[in-house]
Chain A
Amino acid sequence: MKNETLKILKLIFMVMILLGALSGCKIKDPDVKIIGISAPSNDIQRWAVETIQMKNRLEEKGYEVIIQYASSDVSMQISQIENLIGKDADVLIVIPVEAASLGEAMDMAIEHKIPIISYDMLITNTDAVSYYTTFDNYKVGTIQGQYVRDKLDLDHADRTYNIEFTAGDPGDNNAGFFYKGAVDVLKPYLDSGVLKIISGQDSFGKCATPSWNTEKAQQRAENILASYYNNQDVDIWLASNDTTALGVSSALATSYKGNYPIITGQDCTLINVRNILNGKQAMSVFKDPAMLIDATVNMIDEIILNKPVSVNDTSTYFNGIKTVPSYLCEPTYVDKDNCFEVLTSSGFYTPEQLK
């Protein structure tokens, strides 16, 4: 009896070892390049949609694509990246769960000489990341500033305008770029006195909103309105993104009686787009994911074909170890006049959603 079982066990292990030997001989088809995509989670709508679109685009071009979602767990993502390397991926697109903690997986990519494209969120604390694709974050602020300048024709202004700023999360590398982009455009007018910050809160630190939190932005706006705008109007409220813009517009609705200001935003969040259509927000910067996907797919083509990789910024994005060559996509803006057309034609929203 016992010997029979042993025989079976032996057989099982022989088969295993045989398969092991066979798998060692398994040769990968060198003509089909494998692209691995590692994303934080498919519960986050943005990543779920964009990774699938990316996959479809890459497959059209004849690549084999493997997507792995890490259910927002860093250990899991490290293992998954290692496993993608183990599956002979030629290029990896990585959206980190946490920018600084991909440690050993990044070391492994270096060891295997696999290029890594950091998609929209910059991987930090490693020199393994080869390229970065994102939107030009400084430009986002510039567009907001220019919108304000052009709407009020500040170059020919015959009165002073009151402006307040609401900036983003101090923990977000990009928030500083947004703020600086806007301030750099408006600085001449602040200096000449055409624009006045009545509250005096004129630095990123003073205007920051932890975690981009809507309630925190609202609280701060309410305090400013209560302290400075009882008998005068605020003309411009430069909010860095839509969640903070939402806080500002809520504060205005409850604690402000004057002329409604120009409010800026970013991301074209559905509720803010509705606010734009209702006149409660002037504009929002639109970062079309299709552009980012285009840039990333294009970059992969260039890497695979050994062509020079098109980057348009080699000095801005320092990740703590190296300055990562980046391709920055151009953001655009939408306001009441064009938002329906722009957002529905790009497929970002369906016409029904905006009604």
Chain B
Amino acid sequence: MKRILKLYSTEIVFGFVSLLFIILTGAEILKPMNITAIFLQNSYIFILATGMAICMTSRGNIDISIGSFVCFICAMGGVFMAVMKLNTGFTIILLLILGLLWGCLSGYLISYLKIPAWVTTLGGYLSFRGLGVALINTFSTTGSIVGIDQSFMKLFSGKIFSSPIDSFGQGSLLFCIILAVSAITYKLYSLRKEGSSITNSVIFGCALSFAVSLVIGVSFSLTGGVPVSFVWMLIVVGITQIWIEKSAEGRKLIMLGANPENARIAGVNVKRAVFMTYIFMALCATLTGCIVLSRFHASSSYAGVNFEMDTIAACAIGGVSLYGGKQRILKAILGAALIGIINLGLSLIGIDMNWQWIIKGIIIVAFVSFDMYLKKDRYE
């Protein structure tokens, strides 16, 4: 029994907290619109948690600069499009270059110069917020730069397969079903290739994923379409998952997390691997910046506030240990979903903001303590 608890601790707590919020909100959280809201409002946590999970894989490395970097990207996006009148494509390229530059710089400082990750990214946390706000104040007197390209906003926000909200949009449901079927097929195919047998728990997992996809698909269908930020999230999670499981690079990263000494002996270039994780993280933050910019319809000095904390919380809940180890991106995603449910649930109940922070803090610590207790023997 304990073994199962250990293996599925994230899932169990996920179920428990969900149930709690279903009861507390009088099932309101299960309304199609609110299920959509979990993804629409928290897409940033999903994307950033994926990057952060990769970052943490390489032993104790975190990145606390991401929220501020999101603000900086928003500000630069506004400057490029509204002030310099560049077109969408060019803006995206420039933003990606900025992301790459920051990834390279932070990665280089952390992996090659051995500056502690939290110091380097603390620098980023402070300076990017300052830079972002300074830029916005330079080009605007109202605290936000308006005039973002319509095409840019279409690319990063809004809905695809859109349908009127009072009708049923079959496209969204079909999209989710096709995705679920292909993900399950892929999973079964790769299990077969590895020669593993298909156990009951695999079948249960697949059925559950399919059921969840169905619920999400129906929710999207009833609420006007699939949020574009949800598609971006799927792309990031999908690519990352395949990359870390299938590519040599990814496997090296897992090896490094599990045991750096062994990895070094096996010939893994540790510095390069860490360097790469920071580039990946910065690119995830850049994408998030674009999504936030589109969601706000303006460059705002308020963009990205507390994103790093929600992300780290998602990883902690997802069991991505700060001490490295074998990571599972999907668990971090589950953690992100949980943070999303907590955010939405507390907002629906309508508790005072200050209490929301307190409750969130308690849930996170309680959960991680529970998790640690279950895995006690492993840490001792």
A residues with a Cβ closer than 8 A to B are 1-6, 9-10, 12-13, 15-17, 19-20, 22-24, 26, 41-42, 66-76, 78-80, 82-83, 85-87, 97-104, 106-107, 111-112, 124-126, 170-171, 173, 320
Question: Which A residues are CB-close (under 8 A) to B171?
Answer: none
A104, B31: Cα distance in complex, Å? 20
Question: Which A residues are CB-close (under 8 A) to B15?
Answer: 9, 12-13, 16
Asked if B211 lies at the interface with its beta carbon under 8 angstroms from chain A, I say yes
Contact B300 A79 (CB under 8 A): no
10 shortest interchain CB distances as A-B pairs:
A103-B297, A171-B141, A23-B27, A74-B302, A71-B353, A101-B300, A20-B30, A101-B296, A86-B33, A79-B41
Contact A100 B292 (CB under 8 A): no
Question: Which A residues are CB-close (under 8 A) to B30?
Answer: 16, 19-20, 23-24
- Residue among A67, A99, A104 with max Cβ neighbours from chain B (10 Å): A104
A106, B295: Cα distance in complex, Å? 10
Q: Beta-carbon contacts of B32-72 to A below 8 Å, as 1s and 0s?
A: 11100100110000000000000000000000000000000
Given contacts A19-B22, A98-B144, contact A5 B4 (CB under 8 A): yes
Asked if B18 lies at the interface with its beta carbon under 8 angstroms from chain A, I say yes
Given contacts A24-B31, A74-B303, A83-B344, contact A10 B352 (CB under 8 A): no
A282, B15: Cα distance in complex, Å? 65
Question: Which B residues are CB-close (under 8 A) to A101?
Answer: 144, 296-298, 300, 302
Closest B residue to A103 by CB, please name it.
B297
CB contact between B350 and one of A19, A68, A102 (< 8 Å): that residue: A68
* Stretch of B88-96, B200-208, B261-269, B372-380 lying at the A interface: B200-208
Given contacts A6-B201, A79-B343, contact A104 B295 (CB under 8 A): yes
Asked if B191 lies at the interface with its beta carbon under 8 angstroms from chain A, I say no
Asked if B323 lies at the interface with its beta carbon under 8 angstroms from chain A, I say no
Contact B292 A75 (CB under 8 A): yes
Asked if B231 lies at the interface with its beta carbon under 8 angstroms from chain A, I say no
Query: DSSP majority for the B interface?
Result: helix
Q: Beta-carbon contacts of B14-35 to A below 8 Å, as 1s and 0s?
A: 0100110010000110111110
Asked if B347 lies at the interface with its beta carbon under 8 angstroms from chain A, I say yes
Question: Which A residues are CB-close (under 8 A) to B5?
Answer: 5
| A-B Cβ contacts below 8 A, count | 159
Contact B11 A9 (CB under 8 A): yes
Closest B residue to A79 by CB, please name it.
B41
CB contact between B302 and one of A23, A66, A73, A171 (< 8 Å): that residue: A73
A188, B33: Cα distance in complex, Å? 59
28 contacts between A and B (CB under 8 A): A5-B4, A5-B8, A6-B204, A9-B12, A13-B208, A20-B30, A42-B352, A74-B305, A75-B296, A79-B37, A79-B344, A82-B41, A83-B34, A86-B33, A86-B37, A87-B28, A100-B143, A100-B146, A100-B300, A101-B296, A101-B297, A103-B295, A103-B297, A104-B40, A125-B297, A126-B297, A173-B142, A320-B146
Question: Which A residues are CB-close (under 8 A) to B343?
Answer: 79
Contact A5 B350 (CB under 8 A): no
Contact B305 A75 (CB under 8 A): yes
Closest A residue to B300 by CB, please name it.
A101
Question: Which A residues are CB-close (under 8 A) to B141?
Answer: 170-171
Question: Which A residues are CB-close (under 8 A) to B32?
Answer: 24
Closest B residue to A10 by CB, please name it.
B204
Question: Which B residues are CB-close (under 8 A) to A73?
Answer: 302, 305-306
CB contact between B27 and one of A20, A66, A102, A112 (< 8 Å): that residue: A20
A13, B139: Cα distance in complex, Å? 51
Contact A9 B303 (CB under 8 A): no
A67, B30: Cα distance in complex, Å? 21
CB contact between A23 and one of B19, B31, B208, B224 (< 8 Å): that residue: B31
CB contact between A100 and one of B19, B34, B142, B215 (< 8 Å): that residue: B142
Question: Which B residues are CB-close (under 8 A) to A86?
Answer: 31, 33-34, 37, 348
Closest B residue to A113 by CB, please name it.
B165
Contact B157 A26 (CB under 8 A): no
Contact A83 B18 (CB under 8 A): no
CB contact between B211 and one of A1, A9, A13 (< 8 Å): that residue: A13
Question: Which B residues are CB-close (under 8 A) to A80?
Answer: 347
CB contact between A83 and one of B37, B204, B292 (< 8 Å): that residue: B37
Given contacts A6-B201, A10-B204, A22-B27, contact A100 B298 (CB under 8 A): yes
